[in-house]
Chains A and B, each alone.
Chain A
């Protein structure tokens, strides 16, 4: 699949996909979108990179690390990072649910504040649900990419 066309397309498409994913994540609390779909879209961007440039491209080309060809895929440093992302995301989601308990509100209660007079934005709405969405996002990205890179390597 690593034709010139594929690689050129990937260069253009991947940033767009990532930006759309992030916008879906940020507006997900009251518009269509949210952590799950943003996570799936982000994973798609990574999959395009994997297809166009190969499984080792992230480590060798982007992070500049050496790749040991004989390694087991599940102990790969990138995969370990994916798994850590999964765990951290889960922790974020749980903690974001627990915080309202400390403030004497039910588990998973959400609220929001509107900031006026923010430079550039003027009017910015910050929802607590974003924290939960961020957790979901990390879980989905971490989980999907772990599966894709381990199964893809086998």
Chain B
């Protein structure tokens, strides 16, 4: 039977727009070859267009008074749950905005930080492919597709970690590749297991089936373990303890603007995936299995796997705060301090997520997710900006070792000012963006009534103050070193830093709309039914009998030629723009 593909509406096309923009920018810069100025121009145009597209999604899909709250896009016109669905809801839009801001800043920065030789290589195409992977991961509504975007992101980060090609870069890249290949294998194993258990990989369909396993004839027991596998993969991406060890070497090896993007954007992909899968997809799952550890007690009682996720995340998050904070105090270079600091800061994001998972009060869960998102935003802005500032320091002085720096504040007040604001945002001083992040995290912990969490968070904050003060004192105050005396800062780099600093201040002062946005994002993250309705995995399959599980199951996963209609019959009348699907349509 011929199925007319729906012509996507304007809102729907908007969903795929950011992805297409970076894809075209990547190919465009690749085609331009060895013309650096044209490449830079296309890159900047792509970055600007990306921001416009993301802003349009923010407004028309999430924030406008009559906004639908979520929009979907079926790639290739193949209906869910068989085709690949892209979903832009509040959570995705929030994450995209974050990535857009820090991405464009580091793109502008890149144009100035890299010498001519670097720019002749594939820097800009790779930059856009990294952005493509991150964007795809935020937008996809399909678990296998999420794996694919993770791979896109990883392939590029491998190259960036090894970019300078020195011995320490190669060593960092080797560890990074080895760890992530293992992670990818585990991810694929988890995805395969979930498909074998539930018969679907479309996230909305998955949520629907897990909420009513009996109706679909599936036994969801193994899902808890598989979710644990996926969780560990996402924790590797986010750099949570005990998977934090790759971060310092990789962040030191990559070019500074890329480090800003790795800390600001790809880390958030791990956080996003944890939030999306835990709360949107698996929250309503009816597992029906009890899981108990003798010493600890019951960690999973009956229904939702959230309690289990919460317990694990809580341990990881608090350990990250301590390990990151303590590690950062003793580092001897600015990058080292910031890399350990970002381990600790991700802990601050993971703890509210854990609180949200363990609590049973809907309001507390909501405020905890808001706290995690606002904190993630602050971390993306502040840490991204600080890594860029380190890039600027390195351009100016040629070093980032604390021992060789000193007195930068008198040498370049604007650079010092930007670094100062970023540091204060990290600590959480009002009225900067970091204050609200910290405040909401503490608020969530207090509302959950957990004193021990509060004490831990407080200890983590004190450690933040300690290492930030130390880095500031050693490099920006004190005696000028010879390296600093000869320093010449790049005006464009400093301008980018100041723009980001202004953004941080603006986010703090005009926090009301940001809070509304984060609130909408948290609502979207927790609204499983809304997500299912938006994706509507019933487009072809009518009736909820298990017999439809296998129909056309391969159609969505094909990476290459698999996008054509399965089982097309040559004798059918040619019809431009129609997809012939002979399966799934023969309902009685």
Contact = CB atoms under 8 A, between A and B. Distances in A.
A63 to B, nearest CB: 21
Interface stretch (B433-441, B453-461, B471-479, B569-577): B569-577
A6 to B, nearest CB: 32
Interface in A112-142: 112-114, 123, 125, 127, 129, 132-133, 136
Q: What range describes how many residues of A lie at the interface?
A: 20 to 34
B181 interface: no
Interface in B1-51: 5-8, 13, 16, 20, 23-24, 27, 30-31, 33
Interface string B563-588: 11100101100111111000000000
Interface stretch (A9-17, A45-53, A98-106): A98-106
A112 B6 CA distance: 17
Contacts of B574: 111-114
A129 B23 contact: no
Contacts of B348: none
Contacts of B576: 103, 111, 113
Contacts of A129: 561, 563-564
A34 B13 contact: no
Given A94-B27, A114-B570, A106 B74 contact: yes
Interface in A33-79: 33-36
Contacts of B562: 34
Contacts of B579: 109-111
Contacts of A148: none
Contacts of A111: 574-579
A90 interface: yes
B226 to A, nearest CB: 28
B561 A105 contact: no
Contact of B561 (A28, A101, A112, A113): A28
B577 A90 contact: no
Interface string B118-149: 00000000000000000000000000000000
A101 B474 CA distance: 55
Interface in B543-562: 559-562
B530 interface: no
A35 B564 CA distance: 13
Contacts of B8: 105-106
Given A90-B30, A106-B5, A34 B561 contact: yes
A134 to B, nearest CB: 11
Contacts of A94: 23-24, 27
Contact of B564 (A29, A98, A107, A113): A29
A150 interface: no
A127 B562 CA distance: 12
A91 interface: yes
Interface of B: 5-8, 13, 16, 20, 23-24, 27, 30-31, 33, 73-77, 559-565, 568, 570-571, 574-579
19 contacts: A33-B561, A34-B560, A90-B30, A91-B31, A101-B20, A106-B76, A107-B75, A107-B76, A109-B577, A110-B579, A111-B574, A111-B579, A113-B576, A123-B570, A127-B564, A129-B561, A129-B563, A132-B560, A132-B563
